[in-house]
Chains A and B, each alone.
Chain A
């Protein structure tokens, strides 16, 4: 064993250690981000499940116009959806020019889901002809 061999071996090992440390840090960061996104996806799914549960519970009625039913459904959804945790943003709004509600949930890293809900699909209103689908097309 001479000095040159020891120096070459040490340099090789140190280089490998440095590379492995960088790759390990990068992997840990990616796994943390993936875990966070997975948790946010679960939270977002819980919001949609809560909305679906509410829609199953509402009593069918055709006393209201679809516009009024959409307003009522908006209030009910806003009151019954569970709170979102930090990092997730929820937006529930009426789509202008239509009877649809739009629930949008966004998380970190470009995570975003949105769904339309219609009171007519939950039995909350009946035949009307005073709305158009253009508003929904433009909004989504």
Chain B
């Protein structure tokens, strides 16, 4: 009586037609794989382009905020030099107390502490003359819109040539943005 064949023979030997069946269906998986590869790589390029664009837009917005605050600083310094020269040597907290001695009323002091530039409001967040003999002061401005960015500027001060009792601003140096605080 013949012995039964072992049941653990390798598959090809058990059914040689399976290899042929597998060869028959290779076109669709290859096309599918190639298509996916193409779409993935072009999608990556698209993402890179979008990221690049977002970076440029963000950089542009940041620069526009810097421009607004720098313009506000020029405007504010000009107002102080020409209209309220006596306040250049005084801390912001003391402006209201010192202003009457310079002939400035409450309204004038309030107007000096805020302004508008480029359709955007701003306020003077701080004004600190340097202590001692150092002829400088720090001016901090804050936008009053939805994103209250702040920027600090260092002002160089010197006695005015026309009258040593008065000061003039010799330079305005940007110390940078301090970010938006809600």
Contacts and interface: CB of A to CB of B under 8 A. Distances in A.
Interface of A: 1-2, 5-6, 8-10, 12-13, 15-17, 19-21, 23-24, 26-28, 30-31, 33-34, 37-38, 41, 45, 55-56, 60-63, 66, 99-100, 111, 113-118, 120-123, 125-129, 131, 133, 136-137, 140
A62 B56 contact: no
Nearest to A29: B49
Q: Give the dominant DSSP class at A's interface.
A: helix
Given A114-B71, A115-B70, 15 more contacts: A1-B23, A1-B25, A13-B34, A16-B39, A17-B38, A23-B43, A27-B42, A28-B45, A37-B56, A115-B74, A121-B74, A125-B81, A126-B81, A137-B116, A140-B118
A127 B67 contact: no
Interface in B1-60: 23-28, 30-32, 34-36, 38-39, 41-43, 45-46, 48-50, 52-53, 55-56, 59-60
How many chain B residues sit at the interface, stated as a range, is 35 or more
A122 B171 contact: yes
Contacts of A17: 35, 38
B85 A127 contact: yes
A19 B42 contact: yes
Nearest to B80: A120
A5 B30 CA distance: 11
Contacts of A1: 23-27
A2 B28 CA distance: 11
B158 interface: yes
Contact of A111 (B60, B73, B82, B170): B60
A38 B107 CA distance: 45
Contacts of B24: 1-2, 5
